Structure 1
Amino acid sequence: MAVDRYPQLHADFRWKVPEDFNIAEACCGRWARETPKATAIYFDSESGCRSVYSYAQLQRAANRLSNALFSQGVRRGHRVAIVLPQRFETVVAHIAAQQLGAVAMPLSVLLGPDALAHRLQDSGAVLAIAAREVLPALREAKACCPALRRVLVVGDGPVAADEMAWMEALQAEEARFKPVATQPGDPAFLLYTSGTTGAPKGALIPQRALIGNLSGFVASQDWFGFDPFPDATQTARPSSPGKRAREIAGGDEGPWHSKGLPKTDAVFWSPADWAWTGGLMDALLPTLYFGRPIVAWQGRFSAAKAFELMAAYGVTHAFLFPTALKAMMKAEPRPKRHGLKLRALMSAGEAVGDAVFGWCRDALGVPVNEMFGQTEMNYVVGNCQALWPAKPGSMGRAYPGHRVAVIDDTGRECAPGEIGEVAVHARDRHGEPDPVFFLGYWNNDAATRAKFTGDPADSWCRTGDLARMDADGTLWYEGRADDVFKSAGYRIGPGEIENCLLKHPAVANAAVVPKPDAERGALVKAYVVLAEGYVGDAALVAALQAHVKARLAPYEYPKEVEFIAALPMTTTGKVQRRVLRLQEQARHGQGQTAQPG
């Protein structure tokens, strides 16, 4: 059994945030000077277009774009929308914006005109960098966004009078640019929440938040190819893993100086959209921070493509959300036949569940490290198979540098085993400010205050997620606060039932929600996406109900099952149970019924 080094790791860790810090310098500038030929981006696409870009190429393109943006009036603090998929130009846009001191606002290419208009209006974005395929929606949205002066279009084709072609804009500028100096607390990103519980809010993320992400990133990737004990010999006592984590995520030379930075051979890939916190802060920027290559796949996700990409590019580390892992598990019982080099795997977005956990460990040969975080304070809880034994199905424990608890409605810390809301304290266990936190919600001070139990600089920040904590600090997810419901007096958490359903071979995915019921208050209802080859009939409904009855409490089995082609999902891969819950409420009001069991 692996030695549990968690207590020492967490106790030894101390944040070290430098006086000056800029994400562009940390993730590109230093590497362009010191390892200019090193690969930064492997690009691949459904169209068959493939390219390899070095850090030097990335820096030169970013310099040209910084000059182009400056010539268009973009200045420090201005919001720049980036509406691009995974591709080289997306990285160039982020580096260029940070060099200017502008605030990058990544937006999904899947957003429609209304969603784009809300974010562009709310942020007051002055310029947008967008893929050509987004132009119809963006042009419609732009009509009600007076602050948006210009659109820079990535992709071949004609442009309108208030638009500029990417290649022409960059070719007109010099490949030299002097970046502005920024401090750790300066804003870097404006990231809009998914809006599953109301209108999306813009979370303003500081430069230092990347530093705050690093301890969790390295731990969840089983040290990302680094040696946690570089001093270890047969006669010498190994250095503390806490000290090693501190060196990697803010060492004696400061986290953005490459002197003494350990080397790694990691190659990273994730299908997570770079417009989402998970894709940007859990994959793209940490990988570049360590001067390693990341695979950019511009195309739809499929289980077959996931295995193909990981094999072709020698991917050693990955972030795959539970929805992706479920699809891969159903599609490939023998994943090792692909000859993968995968050494570590992180998953986040929703609970993985023991079915997927077991497949990753036994079939894939790489136990999954679950991670939990939010846009507002990301990468705060999770597992690290390399240094502490994970409990299958758990969320893990607070990553080094973060103080996490389960609290009740009054802000009191709950006893072990008691269900409450997961909260992160603005100060770490040593009383120092945690750099991972957002600066606040854009133009919404009331929402910012409501997020905290007191002073945002010295109190608990609520997540809206429910969990229980063991005596050793291990957290067990119970669902979103608004996803948990009562049926006949019993408290129902959908995650456990969904995980149980997933173990049935007929189920590709499932979501559990309450259906209003006059007698019980609510019935447990399951929406089920069928695996290939199965038919959703009364016999299968009965089989699924019996499957759950045999494994969970009698009150937890779904009284109704409805088969559905696909579950409503956010762009970040989370099931939108709220959509299904509202659907059930509407049906109840209209007297409609679903397939009973």
Structure 2
Amino acid sequence: MRDIWTAGPEASGESYVAMRAGFRWDVPATFNFGSDVIDRWAQERDGPALIWRNAAGAARTLTYSDMATETNRLGNVLRAHGIAAGDRVLVMLPRIPEWMTALVGALKIGAVPIPCIEMLTPRDIEYRVRNSGAKAVICRAEQADKFVAVTGEVPVRIAIGGEAGSPADWLDWSRALAAAAETLEAAVVRADDPAIMYYTSGSTGHPKGVLHAARALYAWRVSAMYWLDLRPGERIWCTADTGWSKAGTSILFGPLSCGAASFFYDGPFVPSERLKLLAEHGVTVYCAPATELFRLVDENIAAYDLSALRRVVSSGEAMNPVVAGRWEAATGLRVDEAYGQTETLMTVLNYPGEPVKYGAMGRPSPGSELAVIDEAGRRLAQGEEGALALLTPNPQMMLGYWQDEARTAAAHVEGPEGRWYLTGDRASFDADGYLWYRGRADDVINSAGYRIGPLEVENALLEHAAVQACAVVGSPDTERGEIVKAFVVLRAGHAPSDALARELQDHVKHVTAPYKYPRAVAFIAALPLTATGKIKRRDLRDQEYAKADAAP
């Protein structure tokens, strides 16, 4: 495997075929991202690691040596309060520098950070804390009230900022770190030791805890080298939210493994502001979801100096070929898509210097064996549609779903070549080895890069007094890929109306994370059910896609 100190595939001139043929995994027996990456860069080639700005004009830059010191301090604070290797630390922070410090500081002592977005409701937090058994939480002071129900269950609570200071019984981040030592003996973390956990929505039940090992944090640099094509000293702006695995790989683990600097912006999405910031900060690699690029191509891109920008990539949702073409026409830069999941991260890539086919997912990443298989785990021929699967073992692959062996086992199938992980997506290969996405095998909704489980939204709707039954599906949307659409059967005494639809939308925003609310609500007399009484979401989803296909 290419060392982190060297340039990517474009600079080396490797073709895709040579890349795949020559690649070998070389995962070390132990790997601590904090000491083996952050501290190493700080000692051998210091430079900016994080360049932060917010909408109010505040700015901060952290070098690798700054990051090494700050994460040592936090590691000492956590240890002093009883947090040990393997303990889970829930980190619920927005796009602020402390997010990166919190994750790396926890990793340095062998603890397992759980990144979360601030949009989580108290109920969401309660589930995550109790399911994970988290022993520490780090959040902003103004978010502390969300933890009231579980305060007695989390012994270490650290709050950041707040005009009135930290809440009672919470440690103040600034004071605690200022009093802590700057040196730290990092934990020895074995390759298969748990390292980080993300919660991701499924088609049924509560969100799943996806547990990754230290080897994954090492292996995820592959996409930074071969897809992002990052080099030491470059600047990348990945706009993913902090609770998503994509933020981990393309803001933290990938870029910093390559010695690059991550640009981090805490502010609302304003298309013209995006372009202005790209120009002002000399961003060289821009990573954005298709939804974002969809908005940017309508701006006067020529008015901004994007001369430093050399690479644009997208993931999290299917890239619209028309939008990609418009972006390339406006900037001279193509959009190279990648495909991955929280369980595996990026396993299908489009590579610099190699042909791109807009609409295709790309080709398998070095070190990852993907195939389109049938129900028996046998490879299907070129052009045949089937289940997209990843051959295991693979160091990028999760350890499993947290405390759910049955679900972990159900995500795999044994075939003639070995054990395959089923992505839940369907695809086919073309003659050139490119994968083409053919849809989900389950009901998860992918809206603007957010994965939303229908049951979470349905459960929220069912708490409303007017709702007798409901089903939630993804409905195709030009801008967001899919939107959440709710089909609602009303109780007696309630009549369909636009006002009631808005009331239901507001209700969901308050019960669960706001991004999950149904952007469309349809009132129907009855839901389609199977013979055993299960909701046939697929029928409703197919109906939505059929309407979109029939539209002029």
TM-score, structure 2 normalization: 0.79
- Match status 1:283 vs 2:251: yes
For the residues of structure 1 that align with 2:525 and 2:435, how far apart are their CA atoms? 36
> 1:279: Cα distance to partner?
0.7
Q: Are the structure 2 counterparts of residues 202 and 333 from structure 1 closer, same or farther at C-alpha, using a change threshold of 3 Å?
A: same
Deviations 1:433-482 (A, max 9, x none): 42101111111000110111039x94110111121111332111122223
1:89 aligns with 2:98: yes
Question: Are the equivalent residues in 2 in contact too, given 1:350–1:574 (CA < 8 A)?
Answer: no
Q: Distance in 2 between matches of 1:131 and 1:27?
A: 27
Match of 1:192 in 2: 199
Q: CA deviation at 1:360?
A: 2.4
Within a 5 Å distance, the mapping from 1:2-17 to structure 2 comes to 5-17=15-27
Paired residues for 1:45-444 under 5 Å: 45-139=54-148, 141-143=149-151, 146-156=152-162, 157-195=164-202, 197-221=204-228, 223-225=229-231, 264-330=232-298, 332-335=299-302, 337-386=304-353, 388-426=354-392, 433-444=393-404
Q: Deviations over 1:190-211 (max 9, x none)?
A: 1111345541111111111123
Alignment correspondent of 2:490: none
More strand, by proportion: 2
Change (3 A) 1:159 1:514: closer
d(CA) in 1 for partners of 2:201, 2:382 = 31
Q: Deviations over 1:106-153 (max 9, x none)?
A: 1111111111111111000001010123222233x425xx53112100
In 1, the alpha carbon distance for the partners of 2:308 and 2:418 equals 43
* CA distance in structure 2 between the partners assigned to 1:442 and 1:510 by the alignment: 29
How far is 1:337 from its partner? Answer: 3.4
Distance 1:134-1:450 versus aligned 2 partners, 3 A rule: same
- Is the Cα contact below 8 Å between 1:370 and 1:383 reproduced in 2? yes
Partner of 2:37: 27
Partners of 2:302 and 2:26 lie apart in 1 by 41
Aligned residue type for 1:155: G
Q: Rate the CA distance shift 1:410–1:171 in 2: closer, same or farther, 3 A.
A: same
Which residue in 1 is equivalent to 2:409?
449
In the superposition, the TM-score normalised over structure 1's length comes to: 0.73
CA, structure 1 residues 279+348, in 2 after alignment: closer, same or farther (shift >3 Å)? same
The SS at the match of 1:339 is: coil
- Cα pair distance change 1:511/1:188, threshold 3 Å: closer
RMSD: 3.3
Structure 2 portions without partners, runs of 5+: 1-9, 446-472, 488-504, 529-543
Quick check: 2:276–2:304 contact (8 Å CA) kept in 1?
Answer: no
Asked if the contact 1:317–1:343 (Cα under 8 Å) also holds between the matched residues in 2, the reply is: yes
The answer to whether the 8 A contact 1:283-1:319 is kept is no
User: SS state of the match for residue 424, structure 1?
Assistant: strand
Shift of 1:377: 0.7
What secondary structure does 1:21 align onto? coil
Residues 1:133 and 1:338: Cα distance change in structure 2 (over 3 Å): farther
Please say if residues 348 and 363 of structure 2, whose CA atoms lie closer than 8 Å, have aligned partners that are also in contact: yes
Q: CA deviation at 1:514?
A: 9.5
- Displacement of 1:348 in angstroms is 0.8
Confirm whether residue 482 of structure 1 aligns to residue 419 of structure 2: no
CA contact (8 A) 1:357 1:393 kept: no
Identity %: 32
Give the letter for the 1:153 counterpart. A
* SS of alignment partner, residue 225 of structure 2: helix
Moved more, 18-27 or 162-171: 18-27
Query: Aligned partners of 2:248, 2:309: CA distance in 1, in Å?
Result: 21
Q: Structure 1 residues 119 and 384, CA, compared in 2 at 3 Å: closer, same or farther? A: same
Aligned partner of residue 264 in structure 2, secondary structure: strand
Gaps of 5+ in 1: 226-263, 427-432, 486-493, 503-507, 517-564
Residue matched to 1:589: 526
Amino acid at match of 2:262: I
Distance 2:331 2:204 in 1: 35
